Amino acid sequence: KQPIAYLVFVNPKEKLVFAYQRASEEEKYAETRLHGRYSIGVGGHVRPSDKQENPADPIFTSLMREVHKEEVKCEGSHGAPQLLGYINDDTFSPVDSVHVGLLYVIETTGTVVPKAEELKEGHMMPFSEFRGIMRDTQHRVERWTQIAFEQIEKRYS
């Protein structure tokens, strides 16, 4: 399985989580199995450059690359990433069966906005609003997001 750092931004005081919908156009987001799905996690595959830069922890290096250079922009103060646990679910989809997630959280008092075009739209939203998206059958939510959101709610509610 390929390890993926999966990072969730949370404002614990205001009970907000960064949530977004993935792009549906193949030229913007190549992983067609996740097109249009809602997510709260950002992250990606470990690249050879991550291994070269930090042989001791290339997964964490890939996480920091995704956060600071590629996917999102965090405006305002935030803490360091904290490892919450792992996500391993072989039952839901072909995407999940070939990846294992390392679930991280960053606590922030600021705003997080999409920077990469693969994130169609996104913003900090109340836990209750995202819970509504998860319950609405018209919205497709990534399985890892469902698992991670349950843990986020337990931790911060």
pLDDT (mean) for 48-72: 88
Q: Are 131 and 156 in contact (CB under 8 A)?
A: no
pLDDT of residue 51: 92
Q: pTM for the full model?
A: 0.86
> How would residue 118 be classed by pLDDT, with cut points 50, 70 and 90?
low
Q: Are 23 and 122 in contact (CB under 8 A)?
A: no
SS3 category, 139: coil
- Phi, psi (degrees; rounded to nearest 5) at 91: -95, -20
pLDDT (mean) for 99-114: 92
pLDDT tens sequence across 11-58: 999 999 999 987 654 544 445 455 468 889 988 889 999 999 999 999
Q: How far apart are CA 15 and CA 42, in angstroms?
A: 18
